[in-house]
């Protein structure tokens, strides 16, 4: 931030103090603090694991629903204990699969169907020395600066554990208020189950609405994931393509000529691999040149922001999908 902007914001703060606006700000901050305290009280393991339908709009019930949706293979993306587009997409897919009214809302029938899985939604995890050993990397935004690094690893232990347990770092902090995320500490984390085991996807379908589905040889749905799928500048490539390669822990070959918003001074560069690489931990190459299905360093943006044409999943969903697909299977991109 430049000095001009710093001066401008300082002037605004001074103006607020002089004009008497500070009490309003303080009131707002107090209300926000109370809301955080109230939410914290609802996000205890007991509340999350034992919440009933009467409390199905509480943060605890929403988080429980997100965990159960994921265990039923309708990924809500990065879990945050709040409603949103990805939560609604997952609910609609689950409702359709259970022949329930497809509303995208957490109604009582959907709640009951989800809770046929009566297992705990959160469990405990003790941080190990390996978790805190890193290496951790502060990743710069500039692509050419990224190219100078040896790897694009996680920036903090919270980020690493957030990806492992499919949650935002904010939610991980709220679930573990007062914890310092050091070796030996026991955390409350989502119980995401073992994931999909041994399934073979024979077709992948991606829609502009931000949904990716994988089906087996009989056309049965295996899993549904939220995705970012193109933009006005780089639209989703409508048509039928094929997976031509699956590369785990890939480098990213940055070509600014392929990005409409690239810095005009940039040159081509090889970005090293790692979970914070621009394509995350796995790349599934498509027969459409320059396009692929891949992970992302920003899981919270999946399904909420546009991409440069490729199909972007959270790292954990991309890894799961990569374990189910093989070279040659069709990938259908549709409206």
Query: Tens of pLDDT along 272-283?
Result: 999 999 999 999
pLDDT class for 307, splitting at 50, 70, 90?
low
Beta-carbon contacts of residue 211 (< 8 Å; ≥ 6 apart): 89, 93, 224, 225, 226, 227
Cα–Cα distance measured from residue 84 to residue 87, given in angstroms and rounded to the nearest whole number: 5
Is the per-residue pLDDT at 330 higher than 50?
A: yes
14 pLDDT more than 60:
no
- The reported pLDDT for the residue numbered 82 is 94
Last residue in a domain, options 190, 212, 240 = 190
For 111-124, write each residue's pLDDT tens digit: 999 999 999 999 99
Q: pLDDT value at position 125?
A: 98
Last residue of a domain, one of 168, 190, 212: 190
Query: Band of the pLDDT at 306, cuts 50, 70, 90?
Result: low
Which of 166, 190, 214 is the last residue before a domain boundary? 190
pLDDT of residue 15 exceeding 60, the answer is no
CA–CA separation, 30 vs 190, rounded Å? 30
Can you give the residue range of the structural domain that contains 257? 203-334
* Number of domains the chain contains: 2
> Which of the pair, 98 or 55, is modelled with greater confidence?
98
Q: What is the pLDDT of residue 148?
A: 96
Q: Is the dihedral of CA 107, 110, 116, 120 positive or negative?
A: negative
Alpha carbon distances (Å) from 196 to 121, 223, 275: 17, 8, 21
Q: Are 264 and 257 in contact (CB under 8 A)?
A: no
Q: Are residues 144 and 231 in the same domain?
A: no
Is 85 a domain residue? no
Looking at the domain assignment, is residue 309 inside a domain? yes
User: Which of 233, 197, 228, 208 shows the shortest CA–CA distance to 293?
Assistant: 228
The predicted pLDDT at position 12 comes to 30
pLDDT per residue as tens digits for the range 175-212: 999 999 999 999 999 999 999 999 999 999 999 999 99
One domain, residues 314 and 237: yes
Residue 24 lies in a domain: no
Predicted pLDDT of residue 237: 92
Residue 40 has what pLDDT?
53
Average pLDDT (62-69) is: 98
Question: Do both 166 and 281 map to the same domain?
Answer: no
d(CA 228, CA 222) in angstroms, rounded, equals: 20
CA 32 vs CA 25, 55, 162, 229, 286: distances in Å: 10, 21, 24, 34, 46
For the residues of 47-84, what is the DSSP string, one character each? HHHH--GGGTTSHHHHHHHHHHHHHTTB--SSB-SS--
SS (H, E, C) 193-253: CCCCCCCCCCEEEEECCCEEEEECCCCCEEEEEECEEECCCCECCCEEEEEEEEEECCCEE
| Residue with token string 């405990």 | 124
Contacts of 71 (CB under 8 A, 6+ apart): 117, 119, 192, 193
In a domain, 2, yes or no: no
Whether 95 contacts 103, CB under 8 Å: yes
Is residue 20 in a domain? Answer: no
What was the pLDDT predicted at 100? 98
At residue 54, the pLDDT reads 85
Distance between CA atoms of residues 127 and 122, nearest Å: 16
Q: What is the mean pLDDT of the chain?
A: 88
The verdict on 250 and 143 lying in the same domain is no
102 part of a folded domain? no
> What percentage of the chain exceeds 70 in pLDDT?
84
* 292 found inside a domain: yes
Residue 129 sits in the same domain as residue 172: yes
> Is residue 173 predicted with pLDDT exceeding 60?
yes
Q: How many of the other CB atoms lie within 10 Å of CB of 24? A: 11
Question: 13 — alpha (psi -120 to 50), left (phi > 0) or beta?
Answer: alpha
Model pLDDT for residues 232-288, shown as the tens digit of each residue:
767 899 999 999 999 999 999 988 877 766 778 888 899 999 999 999 999 999 999
Q: Are residues 282 and 215 in the same domain?
A: yes
Q: Which of 175, 136, 167 minimizes the C-alpha distance to 152?
A: 136
Lowest mean pLDDT among 87-101, 105-119, 236-250, 295-309: 295-309
| Backbone phi and psi for residue 204, each to the nearest 5 degrees, phi listed first | -120, 135
Instruction: Quote the longest CA-to-CA distance of the chain.
Output: 70
In a domain, 275, yes or no: yes
CATH code, domain with 323 = 2.40.440.10
> Residue 270: in which H helix or E strand, if any?
strand 269-271
Same domain (yes/no): 221, 329: yes
Same domain, 142 and 211: no
H helix and E strand count, the chain: 11, 13
């Amino acid at each position: 931030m430049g000095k001009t902007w710093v001066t401008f914001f300082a002037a605004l703060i001074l103006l607020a103090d002089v004009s008497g606006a500070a009490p309003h700000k303080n009131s707002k901050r107090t209300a926000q603090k109370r809301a955080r305290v109230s939410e914290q009280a609802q996000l205890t393991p007991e509340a999350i694991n034992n919440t009933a339908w009467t409390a199905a709009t509480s943060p605890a019930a929403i988080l429980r629903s997100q965990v159960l949706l994921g265990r039923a293979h309708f990924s809500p993306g990065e879990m945050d204990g709040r409603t949103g587009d990805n939560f609604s997409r997952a609910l609609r897919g689950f409702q359709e699969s259970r022949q329930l009214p497809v509303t995208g809302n957490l109604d009582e029938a959907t709640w009951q169907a989800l809770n046929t899985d009566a297992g705990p939604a959160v469990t405990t995890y003790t941080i190990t020395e390996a978790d805190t050993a890193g290496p951790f990397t502060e990743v710069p935004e500039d692509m050419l600066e990224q190219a100078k690094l040896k790897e694009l690893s996680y920036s903090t232990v919270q980020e690493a554990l957030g990806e492992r347990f499919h949650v935002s770092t904010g939610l991980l902090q709220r679930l573990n208020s007062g914890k310092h995320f050091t070796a030996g500490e026991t955390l409350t984390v989502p119980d995401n189950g073992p994931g999909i085991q041994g399934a073979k996807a024979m077709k992948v379908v991606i829609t502009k609405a931000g949904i990716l589905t994988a089906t087996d040889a009989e056309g049965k749905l295996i899993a549904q994931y939220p995705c970012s799928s193109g933009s006005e500048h780089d639209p989703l490539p409508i048509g039928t393509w094929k997976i031509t390669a699956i590369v785990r822990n890939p480098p990213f070959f940055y070509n600014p000529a392929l990005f409409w918003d690239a810095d005009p001074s940039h040159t081509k560069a090889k970005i090293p691999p790692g979970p914070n690489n621009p394509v995350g931990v796995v790349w599934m190459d498509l027969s459409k040149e320059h396009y692929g299905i891949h992970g992302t360093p920003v899981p919270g943006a999946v399904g909420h922001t546009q991409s440069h044409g490729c199909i972007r999943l959270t790292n954990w969903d991309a890894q799961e999908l990569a374990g189910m697909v093989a070279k040659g299977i069709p990938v259908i991109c549709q409206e």
